[in-house]
Structure 1
Amino acid sequence: MQNNCINYVEFKSTNIKETKKFYTNIFSWKFTDYGKNYIAFSESGLDGGFEYTEVPIINGALVVLYSDDLKKIQDKIIFYGGNISKEIFEFPGGKRFHFLDPSGNELAIWSLK
């Protein structure tokens, strides 16, 4: 993993089972299940995942960057006019937070630590 580089992309899904079937059958992507509401994919050129949602999907993609130091990068985002939309939280495999850039685009940054 490279620091401060795009590492992962997440999409929304209103039906995890059908999403998995669709991308497996068309592109032969490989999937890992993380409970009933999340699947990760690989062998697509860039790893990513699908998160289940019941709300209509408006902007279904979430670009996820990697950083060695979440607190430091979070402070820089705030200093340069970004807003934190989801505070640092733990997930299987690490920690992450979400932010909005000055134009309102939401991205996430994760770390192993």
Structure 2
Amino acid sequence: MRPTTTIQLAQMLLCASTIWQVSLPARASIALDDEIPEEVLRAEIITEARSPIDGQALSSAEFAELVVTTKQQIERGNADVAANSPKLKETLLLLRLRGFLRSVGVPIK
């Protein structure tokens, strides 16, 4: 091939790839217009809730507060168990070490 032919071919390929990249998002948005995004489907809005403890009706603010306090109590309980169990501490240390070694690339079965 002559140099001018090679340059022309490169220019045509660049032009074609640019057109493809510009038109691809437009085609994707046309195909997805009638679909609901996954983020929206995952979001759960609770307007009326019942307490899992006694079944009382709660407002959304009260329910959110109950969820936060329950999570805090569970975390505190887990921390207390971990602090009192040396075998559990050792197991957690080994699991963290295994995860680190896997992330570095050491093959572990």
TM-score (normalizing by structure 2): 0.16
- Quick one: higher RCO (CA 8 Å, sep 6+), 1 or 2? 1
Decide which structure has greater strand share.
Answer: 1
Q: Which has the higher helix share?
A: 2
TM-score for both structures, normalised by structure 1:
0.16
